[in-house]
Structure 1
Amino acid sequence: MNEERIIELEIRQAYQEDLLQALNSVVAEQQKQIGKLEETCKLLHDKLKSLARAEPSPGLADERPPHY
C-alpha cells in the first residue's frame, strides 16, 4: 500500500512538471506578444504626436455640423 502511494505521488509530480512547463511556454509567448504590442503602441503614439504637431486640426467646437 505504501509503495502504491509513492508511485501515485510520483505520477502526480510528473504531470505537474509537464503542466508547469506548458504554462511556462505560454507565459513566455505572451510576454513576447506584449512586448510587440507595447512597441506598436509607442510607434502609433509617436506618429499621432508628430501628426498633431504638423497639422493642427480645428477643435470640435469650431467645426460646423454636417447638416449645414
Structure 2
Amino acid sequence: MESRLTDLEIKVAYQDDLLDALNRLVATQQDHIARLQADMRHLYEQMRTLQPSGSGSPEIEPPPPHY
C-alpha cells in the first residue's frame, strides 16, 4: 500500500513540474504574441502614412510595358 502511495506522490510531483513548465511556456508565448501585435500595429501605421491622402484609396498604377 505504501508503495502505491509513493508512486502516486511521484506522479503528482512530475505533473506539478510539467504544469509549471507549461505555464512558463504559455507566458513566454504570450509575450511573443504581444510583441508581434505591437509590431503589426507599428507596420500598419507606417503603411497608412505611405498611402496618398485625399480619396483614401491607392492610385491604380498602369501595368508594366510587357503586359
What whole-Å deviation, never above 9, does each CA across 1:5-57 have from its counterpart, x for those lacking one?
10000000000000000011100000000000000000000110111035x75
SS where residue 66 of structure 1 aligns? coil
8 Å contact 2:51–2:58 — kept in the other structure? yes
Query: Which protein has the bigger helix share?
Result: 1
TM-score, normalized by length of structure 1?
0.82
d(CA) in 2 for partners of 1:66, 1:23 = 56
- Greater relative CO, 1 or 2 (CA 8 Å, sep 6+): 2
Query: Number of paired residues?
Result: 64
Amino acid at match of 1:58: E
Percent identity, aligned pairs only, is 41
**Matching residue of 1:51:** 50
Structure 2 unaligned runs (5+)? Answer: none
State the partner residue of 1:13. Answer: 12
Q: Does the aligned pair in 1 maintain the 2:52–2:58 contact within 8 Å? A: no
Secondary structure in 2 aligned to 1:53?
Answer: coil
User: What's the TM-score, normalizing by structure 2?
Assistant: 0.83
The runs of 4+ residues in structure 1 deviating greater than 3 Å are: none
Find the aligned partners of 1:4 and 1:53 in 2 and give their Cα distance.
Answer: 75
